[in-house]
Structure 1
């Protein structure tokens, strides 16, 4: 009999934390699952493989696979190719999930056949004082509970915590799996699916602990560096602007600093023209980097007279820009987007 949910779990040199992830899956209230754990060419002397085989001897729902190529995108696609479930659930080897996680997420997908992928709120499994950036990211992700919010915010960062996701297997086949490249595979997946009009949902319950170990890929792999994000996002954002910006190819850019201009330059390389930069720093206002004038925020276009893209990324800056633009009558998605 085919399981309802197939869990895709890549593991590479994961012996320090893999047992906790596997135990949390074995303890799920939804028993109708299979766990496809992929040893992604670990070089830890067989420790990861031994853990998988030991757990499989206790829980016959676990199948230990060996990825044919190194890399998380290949490992996930390899697991998906072996999956038999109606739904595909993501899980990382360093995270743990609430016992009702898969039950509640599968129930949402069963109830709402138009939804392609369902996430949940996540707990930050790290030190918020030592890693405030991750803690803020978790808070932001948890604030996006509707498809509309996740769609509008997708150009800032991945709007759904990847290891919390449960997909329809049919949607995964229709919209495409993971792509390997110089970019974060999870964010690229959400951008590609949303561009294809996929529908996302998120359970309001906190059902997964998203841990933040020092060796996490997003800390160590250059594919997750900020510039890799912005280069990859620019392709999708440029196409979105071409379809949705009534003033295309012209936009106004919030932020005139060197970092902001470098990130916005990815858009210019894709044919988007900058009418002006908007800033509040008196030292920048009046300058013309690359021939583009730097104006004060108060000189932003009125609603209907220009489209604004914000690239500022300091903590709280995007929210401040949104409040400023909304006070002028701008609406997100219609008159502006946050992309920082």
Structure 2
């Protein structure tokens, strides 16, 4: 069906929250959807819940994961999808009542070559962590400005359960075929690589549950090293100018992760920071340079790993006064 939305949903031991999420899909004002859920070897009551809901509504189907993990689960789900529009849902989250209608209306309005998204809101049984609340605020600011691609190397700029895209566009950029984790960030990078424009709905379209057993909190595929690895992978593929010297700015924990990954890739780079106590010292067999020294390099490309926001403002001001442009000469990898 030309306007059918296929919702793919991996399910892993989500029994405590699954019924609330499924009910929120059933309560959508948009009714032309199908849900393909995939049970990823759950050992709780998840499969029983999926079976019950599939028996009660023909729009819901579920399958067991042919492999192991989120990516095979998404691939299994997508192999059964028949809609012209594709959406991902997480089993422990909740859809606001008009989520699908808002995203669908926007996508039909802007047409192919676009991915649509909207604002998100975290909720929890207790208090949402400060880090997640900051991420929520940041994502929503990107939606207000439709400036997602300008921040692609900072964090994942589109929430994994908050996008809708036409099936043809989804398949053109590889869909769920990739095996790279974090899979949601990898997919967003491929949207970016394909040149799709992001259009946002100015409303909250997804309620994101924060809880202690959330996969993104605990699985090694979603730890900081994995995020930096995928950022570097796409930076070197899409934005690296090999005629220019590469500089890493920052010698804190993130700078050290970056340096290790670059050395593992056998990439040449200059390492610098503004801490005078580290200047001239060797870290991982790299001699730390001063900021003044790197500014003497011919047209450097600078990867900034400094996380503190006020420090980032000062760095941006400093580099701008030296005639460097963000997203061309320097990038924040936070």
Q: TM-score with structure 2 length normalisation?
A: 0.89
Q: Which residue of 1 aligns with 2:316?
A: 322
Q: Which residue of 2 aligns with 1:6?
A: 6
Q: Which residue of 1 aligns with 2:135?
A: 137
Given that 1:251 and 1:275 are in contact with CA atoms closer than 8 Å, whether structure 2 keeps it comes out as yes
Instruction: Give 5+ residue unaligned stretches, structure 1.
Output: none
Pairwise CA distance, 1:170: 0.9
Instruction: State the alpha-carbon separation in 1 of the partners of residues 51 and 252 from structure 2.
Output: 53
Q: Which residue of 2 aligns with 1:18?
A: 18
- Out of 191, 208, 211, which is 1:213 matched to? 211
Pairwise CA distance, 1:287: 3.4
- Residue aligned with 1:205, SS: strand
Q: Which residue of 2 aligns with 1:34?
A: 34
Note the alpha carbon deviations across 1:88-108, whole angstroms, 9 max, x for none. 111101111111111111111
Q: What pairs up with 1:1-340 in 2 under 5 angstroms?
A: 4-44=4-44, 47-126=45-124, 131-145=129-143, 149-178=147-176, 181=179, 183-242=181-240, 245=241, 248-257=243-252, 259-270=254-265, 272-279=267-274, 281-289=275-283, 290-296=285-291, 301=295, 305-314=299-308, 317-340=311-334
- Residue aligned with 2:230, SS: helix
Alignment RMSD (CA, Å): 2.7
Q: Is the deviation greater in 302-311 or in 106-115?
A: 302-311
Pairwise CA distance, 1:34: 0.9
Instruction: State the alpha-carbon separation in 1 of the partners of residues 126 and 115 from structure 2.
Output: 28
Change (3 A) 1:200 1:218: same
Instruction: State the alpha-carbon separation in 1 of the partners of residues 155 and 26 from structure 2.
Output: 31
Pairwise CA distance, 1:255: 0.4
Given that 1:5 and 1:86 are in contact with CA atoms closer than 8 Å, whether structure 2 keeps it comes out as yes
Pairwise CA distance, 1:202: 2.6
Task: Count the aligned residue pairs.
Answer: 333
Given that 2:270 and 2:289 are in contact with CA atoms closer than 8 Å, whether structure 1 keeps it comes out as no
Change (3 A) 1:192 1:269: farther
Instruction: Give 5+ residue unaligned stretches, structure 2.
Output: none
Change (3 A) 1:253 1:137: same
Q: TM-score with structure 1 length normalisation?
A: 0.87
